[in-house]
Amino acid sequence: MHLLNHLLWTLSAAAITTTAALAAPSHLWATHYNGNVYTLTLSGDAFSVTDTRKTCGDLPSWLTFDSHTRTLYCSDESGTSDPSTHGSLTAYHAAADGVLHELATTETIGGGVNSVIYEGDNRKKFIAIAHYEGSAVSTFALPLHDNASTQQAFHFHMKHPGAVSQQDAPHPHEVFLDPTGTFLISPDLGMDVLHVYAINSATGHLSSCPSVKIQFGSGPRHGVFWTDGTGKEPWWVSAGDGDAQRHMWAPVGKTMMYLVNEIGGTMMVFDVAYSRSGCISFYKKQTLVPYTNGEMPEGATPAEIREIGNAFYVSIRSDGGFPGKNDSMVMLDRSPRSGLVSLRNKTPAHGKVPRTFAINRAGDLVAIGNQASATVAIVRRDRESGILGEQVAILQVGEPGKVGTTEGLSSVIWDE
């Protein structure tokens, strides 16, 4: 009797384990410069395109997902800084199976790439967009409506060109938030600066803080903050706009920022300080080349940076570091004591030009978007060591593109 019970228990436990292993499939979305947004479905090692949508203008470039409302935003990189041209922003509701239903679309300043959602009082949300060719940062109030107007636009100008031809004009490449959600940072590849804004939580307006100069010829592209995650506390600052004091947030504990520079091929580490002036300041602690032997191969450029805890990852485009000229993913360890990083290892991107990659929430899988190959490779990530392991699945998503053009797979994210 006891034996039978035990046997039944063992069997049902095994059944539960099997069910868990066969858990609901994961979905991802990818944009391609061919004018499509794709829904991808990953079930174990079975990986396929389950929806293809002609949308997001001529050059779908980047995706940002609001998982609370299941709203996906796509920026279209069409257009330049010439105001007679434009890009677009499109919002979709994402069904449980990852299929997208368009909610609204509007024209934007040209050259929209990365975007970020930020929150004001009463859970009011806004989205900011970095416009690479448009030399601007713009914002919209959410939810997005058809033909909505830009809420705010910051247009940048340069007196002198930068170190290389790519620095002919300001080129904001990303917009990202500090860990308290109070500041927005935009690395500008053309100007060699970080634009810094304080978010007014009542209106969603951005006010300019002093920008941060990055070494000439660096070409800052993407950054991530690191925080020890001990929360945030109210922070009263003197306000320049009439109010004697303004309420903001400051982190409890330590905050740092890690930046990759496309042109200089370097990574920089900053200490971050919250000041009574109502802005944040960055103090550079380290500059290194995130590559073996501290030297970036000729023509190779760092692209995306992500972190989990003290494990940092940088994708390297066109280093051809693996057989078949496959490019590399570099892992760096952050010293918990100093906050400085050092190279751990280099693993294959399983394709060419890994423009974007995304770690899933569980931290056990990484989706690598190889632009020129137009593939999404899923690789295992060891949650203990942080090391990237074998390829679980790989999928061709649209046609390959030529290296160094606006062709191929432009971005990939997880539906979570």
Ligand X SMILES: *[C@@H]1O[C@H](CO)[C@@H](O)[C@H](O)[C@H]1NC(C)=O
Both structure tokens of 157: 């100008």
Distance CA 98, CA 59 (A): 21
What residue is closest to ligand X based on CB?
Answer: 324
Does position 326 bind ligand X by CB under 6 A?
A: yes
Residue 71 or 326 with smaller CB distance to ligand X: 326
Does position 336 bind ligand X by CB under 6 A?
A: no
Does position 151 bind ligand X by CB under 6 A?
A: no
Does position 150 bind ligand X by CB under 6 A?
A: no
Q: Which residues contact 346 (CB under 8 A, 6 or more apart)?
A: 291, 292, 321, 328, 329, 330, 331
Distance CA 93, CA 80 (A): 28
Residue 308 or 394 with smaller CB distance to ligand X: 394
Distance of CA 53 to the CA centre of its chain: 22
Both structure tokens of 52: 């293809």
Residue 235 or 322 with smaller CB distance to ligand X: 322
Q: 93-132 mask for ligand X (x: CB under 6 A)?
A: ----------------------------------------
Q: Which of 195, 350, 355, 381 binds ligand X (CB under 6 A)?
A: 350
| Cβ atoms within 10 Å of 284's Cβ, excluding its own | 14
Residue 176 or 313 with smaller CB distance to ligand X: 313
Q: Are 231 and 251 in contact (CB under 8 A)?
A: yes
Residue 81 or 326 with smaller CB distance to ligand X: 326
Q: 394-413 mask for ligand X (x: CB under 6 A)?
A: x-------------------
Total residues belonging to the chain: 416
Q: Would residue 277 be called left, alpha or beta, if left means φ above 0 and alpha means ψ between -120 and 50 degrees? A: alpha
Q: 295-324 mask for ligand X (x: CB under 6 A)?
A: ----------------------------xx
# chain residues binding ligand X, by CB under 6 A: 10
- In the complex, minimum distance from the CB of residue 90 to ligand X, in angstroms, rounded to a whole number: 13
143: cis peptide before it, omega within 30°? yes
Both structure tokens of 131: 């416009």
Distance CA 81, CA 109 (A): 7
- In the complex, minimum distance from the CB of residue 323 to ligand X, in angstroms, rounded to a whole number: 4
Q: Which of 150, 211, 281, 391 binds ligand X (CB under 6 A)?
A: 391
Residue 310 or 391 with smaller CB distance to ligand X: 391
Does position 147 bind ligand X by CB under 6 A?
A: yes
With tokens 């990237």, the residue in question is: 388
Residue 12 or 149 with smaller CB distance to ligand X: 149
Buried b (16+ CB within 10 A) or exposed e, 248-266: bbbbeeebbbbbbbbbbbb
In the complex, the residues that contact ligand X under the rule CB under 6 A are 146-147, 323-324, 326, 350-351, 377, 391, 394
